[in-house]
Structure 1
Amino acid sequence: MGISHHGACRGAVTMNTERCLSLILVLILLFCSDHAQAEGADLERWHVLTIDGSPVGSVHEVLAEGDDHWQVSESTVMVINRLDTRIETSTVQETVETAGGLLESVRLRIQVSDQVMVIDAFAENGEWVTRDPTPGVPERRQALTEPLTGPRAVAALLAGLSEPGDQVSYSAFIPFTMQPGAVRAELVGFEMVGEFSLRVIEEHLPGLPTPLVRMIDDDGRNVITRMPGPFGLLETTLADETAATLAQSGGELPDEVFEGTMLKTGVRLPSPRRLEYLELELRHRNPALGWPDFNSSHQRVLEQTSDRVVVAVERRHPRQSVPLTADVDDALGDYLKPNSLLQVNQPELVELARSITAEADDRWQAALMLEQWVAENLSFDMGVVLASSSEVLANRRGTCTEYAVLLTALARAVGIPARYVTGYVYAHGMLAGHAWTEVHIGEDWLAIDAAIPADGPADAARFAFLWTDLNGGIGELNAGPAMQMFGQIDARVLAWRVADGELERYPDRVPLPEVSAGLFVDRVQGIVWTLPAGWRVVDHDLTWPSNLIAAAVRSDSERVELRWVSHFPWERAGQEWLESRAQQGRAVIDESSPFGLESAWLVEHDQGFDLLRPGPDGLWQLRSSRRDLLAELADGLALPVQ
């Protein structure tokens, strides 16, 4: 086994490409909770949930009549099998509706990790009250302009639409956002399903850029619901219990479904963790969804049309020192509050945050200490969809979502205003869904990223489209921007600037590596590899998840690979660092300065040999099964070094 990423860092690079999976699974679960339920003989109904035609779960509805009310329970189970991991999530939504059709209360139980999130909401004195059982989280109250309509009454309203163009408006509880909202439904036509003619209803919901399509029977009950999503069409279909139970075993979506949510940039950027400026062109595959607002203090829109946006991202550095104990402006108070995800008042979390920052003089220094602790103490686990800070602290695992949740909570615990950010990050030629943290220092919001840390503020090799204090719960993560972006856009790099470097601009296309029989030249990364006679270059165009730059092969099947291996910015790739990594990987440092190369190491391991040379923020790795081949192929290799 050769030298590779540090455990946490290795997971961090992988997790970013799965970020949108975590968020979208929550969105799908809440989408399935938005069913209308009509009164009738069928008091129990089952639906099969599919994504792009693949069964991935079920929805179970139960209608119970009380003395003066109706209770509707909707249970959703979803299972995605991905990369040898079973990701199982579930929700239960229980609503109580008066005999007159008014919504009295909603209880949501959401399980997307080991813990179950519980939200209770109810109407009281003209307000909608939301309560979270998490200690220290205040209840939220929202004035209602009109009473909310219950699911039975919604079904009756939809059943009253008889001609195309008929519309009805009402207020209801929106599971996506977990808030009340105004809904407009329109009958747009009819569709034959088997021998039945179903009414096709488009329901326009707040927070969603595209309507939810319901295909209902004459009683207003859902037979089919549809909504486009990043992984394809999300659909629930009325079924029997046997079919729904079988669907609960889950499904494995094709690789193309996941690859469609990642953005190939066509370029391997040099030193992406040191980027100070990045300019991107984004193209929308479905302009009808619209664009989110990209503008922030360090990100701005340069050009925008319905299907094209040019975004410029700058790396913002601290401009002033602020004592850790300084007062926080009242306007930033929301960014210090505890909530269902950020359990800032948890004694164990507060104690940890204070111990980590005990030697910090100012807020920025404290923020970097917290970032380093999270980066070094969490490990990657794609089976976690979305967990609270207390659960992350206990289990110390998750995707970049959990890294960002814990870091944001730790910052707030020591009095640093912090918010959660969703966007895309660059890694190995790709832009993939990601989450990170921003802290407020002086007059600025500064990005820090425990999943892919940089030396100082988070690099500019990313762009954001959602900033939130998370005080509104996980519903804030399901807002329009996520649906507008994930799986809906393409990206191209136009320009960049590395720290202490010049602006590199390519308005037409970034030049690809030059490859001939015995020569590989990547002018963007500054690599020239001249091969001996009989060798040729292969596999020079791979992107994530591969960190392979290029490989050299010979007719006798011998192969030598050039790879890039990153490490934490606070680590230095010297002899001591290599020895610690080698011990973890059953490898030994065979020689320092091999083949006459200074600042290089030859490492022997189970698969052969690695020649390692330090580069910007990481190591160049030349790997072969034979030592003599490394010497032969290293002779013609010129690399940018640290």
Structure 2
Amino acid sequence: MWRDDRNHSLYPLFTFISFLLLFSLHFLLSPLALGLITEEELAHMKFPQDEWMSLMISGVKVGYSHTYTDIIRRNGEKFIRIRSEMRMRIRRMGTSLELSQTKESLLGMDLAPKHFISSISEPGQIRKTEGWIEGKRARVKLQLGGKTAEEEVELPDDVIFEEALGYHALKRGLKVGDKYRLNLFSMELLKPIPVEVNVLRRDKMDYQGKKIPVYVVSYKLEMMGGLENREWLDENGVTYRMEMMGLMGMKMELVKTDMKEALGEAGEIDVIIDTKLFPSGQPIYGHPNHLKALVTLKGGDIGKAFVPSQEQRIKLLGGNRAILEIDRSPVDESKSAQTPITSPEVAQFLKSTLYVQSDDPDIRRKAKEIIGDERNAWRAAKLICGWVYENIYDKSLKVGFGSAKNTLETLQGDCTEHTVLFTALARSVGIPTRICAGLVYQGDAFYYHFWPEVYIGRWVSMDPTLGEYQADATHIQLAGGKLESDTALEFGEGVLRTLNRLSIEVLEVKP
């Protein structure tokens, strides 16, 4: 079942580039201050406020953001309404992908968050998120492909809504050396995130032929291994530039502009070609069952970059260097568990989520059709793996991040779609399955990739994208979630920790 024309996907990176740019947009909103806003303060604020920004990756314009802020009345009550739009285009192996998001947020006149609704358009599907803030709880509804999930999240006392974060420094007074901490509630990750704010220095920005005096403010977010954004804003709270510092080894920024320039022609950047990882050392041939490598991480904690498991071991050497060893032991199908597997320790890996709809009637029906009367979990998993590999005939990079139900209907996609469909089918017949995100070797380089693991009495990696019943030892699992959330964003953690910072020297390869 080996394939030579391997398709691979960097969609986890694509998702997080887009997510982080969207996330940063909420720092660029109007100069709102925390605490109560008096009528006198409101009188000095100019509404509506209209901001246009160009989105840049490695110096290439890939899209724009637009934020419009005004004051409205609903049921006799005043609200600050913030509407934002983002559009960007990048390439995966020469195939163009467009992603857009629109969002509307309502804040009370005391800046307390009240309501938001967000719509993200990906190729082939739309994901909608709507939230209500009620006291110290956030109630959130997510919709994707006809499936709805609802969550409630408890908020800390000092939580800040995204729209107000960037201007807390303005309210305090911009003083070089001022440093403090806040909790930001992220509507994308559906949880509060600690943020350290630091007013670094004064500077000057070139804008429309003028030198504009600005302050440089750093925001360090405790998420995805640690992220830092920097903002260049003037004393009135006008943002001229926002940069994600060292993110994935690429310069990513938003730059103030006008509507004509923002909507003007954009270039494109290929995130796969620009970010593949070339190893040094011993050559890799075929599909080895043993891989030993010296891995080095420039910046960050290498001990947190990889997932340790029975088959993947990491030995720290100090200085952000480590020895990585991966061994694939043969599967004895006679020792495989029988389905359904309901052990409490793995029951969570049978659940249905927005992207993995294992409780969908069509998913259940197809899985039963594929495995027939087979109860041996390993043999059933191989039947599902073979079916997914053979039937997703269009190995397309045009799909964004399709859900299992969407993939079953279209039978197209790359590693993300192969993986979520396999996971849903396997879970639906009682085989605990989890999603892995990491690297796989193809041709002459490592690429970011998704694949599933099944529990048959022990965890075994499979790869329905590449047609491998048992994934070979070039599958390197990076940090991230073991169980996907309804946003599935956690699988980008390993990408953020390693991209353009990880080097691999192959020391040993065995068949």
Amino acid at match of 1:118: K
1:64 aligns with 2:70: yes
Max radius of gyration: which structure? 1
Q: Equivalences for 1:273-352 in 2 at 5 Å?
A: 275-287=288-300, 291-318=304-331, 320-326=335-341, 328-352=342-366
- Larger relative contact order, structure 1 or 2 (CA cutoff 8 Å, min sep 6): 2
Residue identity matched to 2:259: E
- The letter for the 2-side match of 1:148 is V
Aligned pairs, number: 481
CA deviations on 1:67-92 (whole Å, 9 max, x unpaired) are: 33212122110012455422111112
**Distance 1:333-1:222 versus aligned 2 partners, 3 A rule:** farther
- What is the distance in 1 between the residues matched to 2:164 and 2:423? 41
| Alpha-carbon distance between aligned partners in 2 of 1:438 and 1:357, rounded to the nearest angstrom | 18
Q: 1:106 aligns with which of 103, 110, 116?
A: 116
What's the Cα RMSD here? 2.5
TM-aligned CA deviation for residue 188 of structure 1: 0.9
Alignment check: 8 A CA contact 1:77 1:89 kept? yes
Question: Residue 26 and residue 354 in structure 1: after superposition, are their counterparts in 2 closer, same or farther (change >3 A)?
Answer: farther
CA distances 1:440-493 after superposition (whole Å, capped 9, x unpaired): 222x22111111232x421112210134321241322343x2211122211111
What letter matches 2:257 in structure 1?
Answer: A
Q: Is the 8 A contact 2:291 2:508 kept in 1?
A: yes
- 2:282·2:509 contact (CA, 8 Å) conserved in 1? no
Shift of residue 436, structure 1, vs aligned partner: 0.3
3-state SS of paired residue (1:452): coil
Answering whether residue 147 of structure 2 is matched by residue 129 of structure 1, we say no
Distance (Å, rounded) in 2 between the aligned partners of 1:116 and 1:139: 17
Q: Say which SS state the counterpart of residue 268 (structure 2) adopts.
A: coil
In the aligned structure 1, how far is the partner of 2:302 from the partner of 2:62?
A: 25
Q: CA deviation at 1:304?
A: 3.7
Counterpart of 2:444?
Answer: 429
Q: How far apart, in 2, do the equivalents of 1:99 and 1:382 lie? A: 45
Task: Quote how far apart the aligned CAs of 1:337 are.
Answer: 1.6
Q: SS in structure 1 opposite 2:459? A: strand
Question: After superposition, where does 1:112-261 map in structure 2 within 5 Å?
Answer: 112-134=122-144, 138-146=149-157, 148-159=159-170, 160-174=172-186, 177-194=189-206, 195-208=211-224, 209-227=226-244, 228-230=246-248, 232-246=250-264, 249-253=265-269, 258-261=273-276
Contact 1:44 1:61 in 2 (8 A): yes
TM value normalised by structure 1: 0.70
Distance 1:334 1:384 in 2: 28
| 1:241 maps to amino acid | M
2:234 partner letter: D
AA partner of residue 183 (structure 1): V
Deviation at 1:266, TM superposition (A): 4.9
Report Cα offsets for 1:282-339 as digits up to 9, x if no partner: 122334798424312321112342431211112144463211134x123333312222
> Cα offset for 1:397?
1.5
Equivalent residue letter for 2:464? A
Report 1:399-548 matches (<5 A).
399-442=414-457, 444-454=458-468, 456-465=469-478, 466-479=480-493, 481-498=494-511
Residue 384 (structure 1) aligned with residue 403 (structure 2)? no
In 2 relative to 1, CA 244–143 (structure 1 residues): closer, same or farther, beyond 3 Å? same
* 3-state DSSP of counterpart to 2:119: strand
Other-structure match for 2:60:
54
> How far apart, CA to CA, are the structure 2 residues paired with 1:418 and 1:491?
29
Tell me which residue corresponds to 1:630. none
CA distance in 1, matches of 2:158, 2:298: 38
> Quick check: 445-454 or 260-269, which moved more?
260-269
Answer yes or no: is the 8 Å Cα contact 2:283–2:506 preserved in 1. Answer: no
Query: Structure 2 CA distance, aligned partners of 1:242 and 1:383?
Result: 29
Gap regions ≥5 residues in structure 1: 499-642
Q: One-letter code of the match for 2:157?
A: E
d(CA) in 2 for partners of 1:428 and 1:342?
30
Q: Distance in 1 between matches of 2:301 and 2:257?
A: 32
For 1:15, the aligned partner's letter is: H
State the AA in 2 paired with 1:420: I
Task: Decide which moves more: 444-453 or 468-477.
Answer: 468-477
| Letter paired with 1:397 | Q
Q: In structure 1, what residue type is equivalent to 2:255?
A: T
On the 8 A contact 1:80/1:88 being kept in 2, the answer is yes
**1:265/1:487 CA distance change after superposition, 3 Å:** same
For residues 419-447 of structure 1, the C-alpha deviation after alignment (integer angstroms, 9 at most, x for no partner) is: 111010112232111110011222x2211
Equivalent residue letter for 1:91: Q
Structure 2 residue runs without a partner (length 5+): 33-44
Report the secondary structure of 1:14's partner residue. coil
Q: Which amino acid aligns with 2:449?
A: H
Give the TM-score normalised by structure 2.
Answer: 0.87
CA contact (8 A) 1:401 1:435 kept: yes
Q: Cα offset for 1:497?
A: 2.1
Q: Quote the Cα distance in structure 1 between the aligned partners of 2:151 and 2:329.
A: 34
SS in 2 for 1:215: strand
Q: 1:156 to 1:74 in 2, by over 3 A?
A: same
Cα offset, 1:10, TM superposition: 5.6
Task: Tell me, yes or no, if structure 1 residue 74 matches structure 2 residue 67.
Answer: no
